[in-house]
């Protein structure tokens, strides 16, 4: 089997407060590294990661979907030009048991023929498109039917019309990390639970309803309008800076955005402009840091 891999690592992680989800770790091994190790063990070459380049792993070739955070289909379409092999493993970068899932997938693929692809299903029988092996030619045909370069499209839209075989995965092997509770459960399952670490991470993130309540309290306390607190904008800034620079740079950068916006007049447009400038700077930070 001639096999490459596409690792999807560009989600917003909104339920994690905009954290760089691929860099979350279990026992010191990041979720992204777990996915890369699984692809490497499967003999995948190249291994193409889609998203903001958050890891200097030499095994990974990074590309970016258009538009950024445009969803899984946009990510797959962005990576396909880099795939020279007849088949490609598509894998999410938030699977704590990616190695087990990929190993089972390969064993199943070796047992019998399949038409356009083979993907795992979860414990409830739902297809897990981001845990599958697909014919590259079939994906390219399907990509031609998807409008707008796949922006904001669901994976089932890409897979419609393809003959995809499914097989039920070992229990829990396709469970992903969408919340801090998911991460805590994954660490406990791996025997590396750290209550102190979980407490610290939970304190840095609030569920959406709690964040809304906190924003309302801030508006009331300081007589602010809803547009004065662009929650999504600030969370996106924190995520981008954490991924491109470093996690501690995220709150510091949010403070600077507020300071700069205040000096410019403090309007929502001033805030958006300050955030855009910092995001642009963060996007090029990796290149600057590598310069002698």
SS3 string, 238-267, reads HHHHHHHCCCCHHHHHHHHHHHHHHHHCCC
Q: How far is CA 234 from CA 147, 205, 275, in A?
A: 30, 13, 8
Q: pLDDT confidence of 249, banded at 50, 70, 90?
A: confident
90: containing domain: 3-168
Same-domain check for residues 234 and 158: no
Q: Say whether pLDDT at 289 is over 70.
A: no
pLDDT greater than 90 at residue 244? no
Angle at 227 between CA 223 and CA 231, to 5 degrees: 100
CB 88 within 8 A of CB 133: yes
Q: Name the residue among 194, 63, 175, 158 with its Cα closest to residue 124.
A: 175
**What are the pLDDT digits (tens) for 159-172?**
998 999 999 999 99
48 and 72 in contact (C-beta within 8 Å)?
no
Number of domains in the chain: 2
Same domain, 115 and 250: no
Provide the 3-class DSSP secondary structure of residue 84: coil
Q: So what's the pLDDT on residue 252?
A: 86
Query: Tell me: the pLDDT tens digits for 156-214?
Result: 999 998 999 999 999 999 999 988 889 888 998 888 855 444 444 444 445 555 567 77
Confidence (pLDDT) at 126: 93
Residues 70 and 140 placed together within one structural domain of the fold: yes
Domain match, 112 and 233 both = no
Query: Has residue 97 been placed in a domain?
Result: yes
9 within a domain of the structure (yes/no): yes
- Pairwise pLDDT comparison (86 vs 10), residue with the higher score: 86
226 shares a domain with 83? no
| Claim to verify: residue 157 and residue 220 sit in the same structural domain | no
Percent of all residues in the chain with a pLDDT value above 90, rounded to a whole number:
43
Point out which residues pair with 6 in neighbouring strands: 48, 90
The rounded Cα 287 to chain-centroid distance in angstroms is 21
Confidence of residue 287 (pLDDT cuts 50, 70, 90): low
Note the pLDDT of residue 251: 86
> Do 131 and 12 share a domain, yes or no?
yes
More confident call, 239 vs 15: 239
């Amino acid at each position: 089997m001639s096999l490459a891999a596409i690792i999807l690592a560009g989600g917003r992680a909104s339920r994690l407060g905009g954290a760089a989800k691929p860099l979350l770790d279990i026992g010191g091994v990041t979720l992204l590294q777990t996915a890369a190790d699984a692809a490497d063990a499967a003999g995948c070459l190249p291994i193409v990661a889609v998203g903001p380049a958050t890891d200097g792993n030499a095994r990974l070739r990074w590309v970016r979907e258009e538009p950024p955070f445009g969803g899984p289909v946009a990510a797959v379409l962005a990576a396909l030009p880099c795939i020279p092999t007849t088949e490609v493993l598509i894998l999410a970068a938030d699977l704590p048991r990616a190695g087990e899932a990929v190993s089972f997938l390969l064993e199943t693929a070796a047992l019998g023929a399949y038409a356009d692809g083979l993907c795992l299903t979860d414990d409830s029988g739902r297809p897990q498109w981001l845990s599958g092996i697909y014919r590259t030619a079939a994906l390219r045909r399907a990509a031609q039917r998807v409008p707008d370069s796949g922006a904001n499209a669901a994976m089932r839209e890409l897979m419609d019309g393809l003959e995809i075989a499914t097989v039920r995965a070992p229990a829990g092997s396709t469970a992903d990390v969408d919340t801090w509770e998911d991460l805590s459960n994954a660490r406990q399952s791996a025997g590396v639970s750290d209550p102190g670490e979980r407490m610290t991470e939970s304190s840095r993130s609030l569920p959406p309803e709690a964040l809304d309540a906190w924003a309302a309290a801030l508006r009331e306390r300081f007589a602010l309008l809803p547009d004065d607190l662009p929650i999504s904008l600030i969370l996106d800034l924190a995520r981008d800076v954490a991924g491109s620079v470093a996690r501690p740079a995220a709150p510091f950068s949010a403070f600077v955005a507020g300071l700069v916006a205040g000096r410019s007049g403090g309007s929502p447009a001033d805030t958006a402009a300050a955030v855009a400038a910092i995001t642009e700077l963060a996007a090029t930070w990796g290149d600057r840091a590598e310069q002698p």
